[in-house]
Amino acid sequence: MTHHFNPFTDADGDALRAIVGADNLSTRGADLDLHNRDQSRHPMGNAQAVLWPQTAEQVAAVLRYCNDHRIPVTPWGVGTSLEANPLARYGGVSLSLEKMARILEVHADDFQVTVEPGIGHKDLNAQLARYGLFFPPDPGANATIGGMLANNAAGIRTVKYGASKDNVLKMRVALADGRLISVGSRSIKQSSGYDLLHLLVGSEGTLGVITQATLKLVPVPSLMSAVIASFPSVQAAVEAVVAVRGSGLDPAALEFIDAKQSALLRDHAGVDLEEKPTLLMEFHAVLPAALDYGLEQVRQICEELGASRIKTTTDNAERTKLWAVRHHAYETLVRLHPGYTFLIDDVAVPISQYPALIGYVEEIVAQHGIRAYMKGHAGDGNIHCEFPYKNAEELAVVEKINDLIVTKAIELGGTATGEHGVGTGKAHHMPHEHGEALEVMRGIKATLDPNGILNPGKIFPDVG
């Protein structure tokens, strides 16, 4: 489908200032620059104006105006995305939710909180600590709740607590034509009509703009433990993952680091690891004995699968130290590759296909004589390949390899993206992954956004 868009004019600026207020629209270069980049390798966006609405009604009015005038609108959280998800590709407006960042209500007895979309999840959790509750999805960076929901962000604790889509109950959403709708319910259970909530979560701002969300919260775990172990092969590590999950131990994190990156962390970050596939796990419990029992079970599983350097701890300081390996892994990579940029891939497969996927990556990486590091959320079958490159020529090579890996993941029954979303970077894989279902997605897009003004050029391999 193709749409005709109009360029953003001074008259549009005047009309939109009347909606959001004179101070809340900018066409200054510095503001545009900030909103035309995310944390990815992808080309800069070309937004022509940045708007900061302060209410849902303003968001709706902006959309209605832009829809009437065929001006693209690309919602903006804080720009921690990795697939250019919030970068304007067809000009128009970057709609920042930065000034809609309030906690509206804590429903402590319901284990829920209602927030505006612009609040960062770390900021939210800092505020929620006093209630002994937290919002579990954690993509690493301090992404906004709106951005996390729009992209269905996940992170390391998804294996126990689910992704963003599993932790939201209700949203208020502004549609392209300026209607404001409520989707979902504060009732945990709902079987009432079509699940528009989950249709909108993960739609990357192409179907509507989230103006409010009620999130599920869980009690902050009282006790935690951690395990780290080196395995003789990826297959053995995956068997450990399956055994741990099958034993009902309900891990809160189950992370994989490949042999090459483990060696690098040993040599350059002072971590006691071998050059072998490594698993890092976390468990939560309410009873110390349950934690000890779980660790003993995990140790047995690891030993039976030939693991070495198995370390377990229930001590908080020691656990934090073990996890530092994971948290600083990317920084260590960056530090050891001065002058390089990283392409970070994100695919996911059924866990049984993890060894096949990793074997394939190792094979093509060797074939092309390039460097690549892998780590992933093994509990979910999600893996990130990190490819350093230093110029356009090298980028072209790693992008080609990236495409091969995505294709392989889809062939193995997996997906082009586990948690980073489609944006522009994965759009060309959508026909392969979804087949005829992509046409159904297009039909829904046309129904909700007939003029295609909402974040055009994302998800679909054309203007959408």
Q: Mask of contacts with its own copies, 124-163, x by CB under 8 A? A: --------x------------------xxxx---x----x
Q: Which of 99, 157, 319, 426 binds its own copies (CB under 8 A)?
A: 426
Long-range contacts at 355-364 (CB < 8 A, ≥ 24 apart): 355/233, 355/234, 355/235, 355/238, 356/412, 357/383, 357/405, 357/408, 357/409, 357/412, 357/414, 358/234, 358/258, 358/383, 359/234, 360/405, 360/408, 361/385, 361/405, 364/401, 364/404, 364/405
β-bridge pairing 218-219 and 133-134:
antiparallel
Binding part of the chain for its own copies, among 11-19, 50-58, 242-250, 324-332 by CB under 8 A, reads 242-250
Segment near its own copies (CB under 8 A), from 261-269, 311-319, 331-339, 374-382? 374-382
Indicate whether 413 belongs to the interface with its own copies (CB under 8 A): yes
| Residue closer to its own copies, measured from CB, 95 or 349 | 349
Which H, E and C letters describe 10-78, residue by residue?
Answer: HHHHHHHHHHHCHHHEECCHHHHHHHCCCCCCCCCCCCCEEECCCCHHHHHHHHHHHHHCCCCEEEECC
Nearer to its own copies, 203 or 212 (CB): 203
Site string for its own copies, 78-117 (x = CB under 8 A): -----------------------------x-xxxx-----
Stretch 251-270 residues interacting with its own copies (CB under 8 A): none
User: DSSP states of 237-263 as a string?
Assistant: HHHHHHHHHHTT---SEEEEE-HHHHH
Q: How far apart are the first and last CA of the chain?
A: 6
The phi, psi pair for 254, rounded to 5°, reads: -150, 85
Which of 448, 455, 456, 457 binds its own copies (CB under 8 A)? It is 448
The answer to whether 14 and 98 have CB atoms below 8 angstroms apart is no
Using CB under 8 A as the binding rule, the residues of this chain from 343 to 362 that contact its own copies are 348-352
Listed ranges 16-24, 189-197, 322-330, 367-375: which one lies at the site for its own copies (CB under 8 A): 189-197
Q: Could you say which of 1, 126, 181, 396 contacts its own copies (CB under 8 A)?
A: 181
Q: How far is the CB of 46 from its own copies (least distance, A)?
A: 24
- Report if residue 417 touches its own copies, rule: CB under 8 A: yes
Work out whether 186 is an interface residue with its own copies (CB under 8 A). yes
Q: Per CB under 8 A, does 414 bind its own copies?
A: yes
- Run of H or E residues at 344: strand 341-344
For 182, which DSSP code?
E
Rounded CA-CA distance 163/290 in Å is 26
CB of 394 to its own copies, least distance (A): 27
Count of positions on this chain that bind its own copies (CB under 8 A): 94
Least gap, CB of 461 to its own copies (angstroms): 11
Interface map 390-409 toward its own copies (x if CB under 8 A): -------------------x
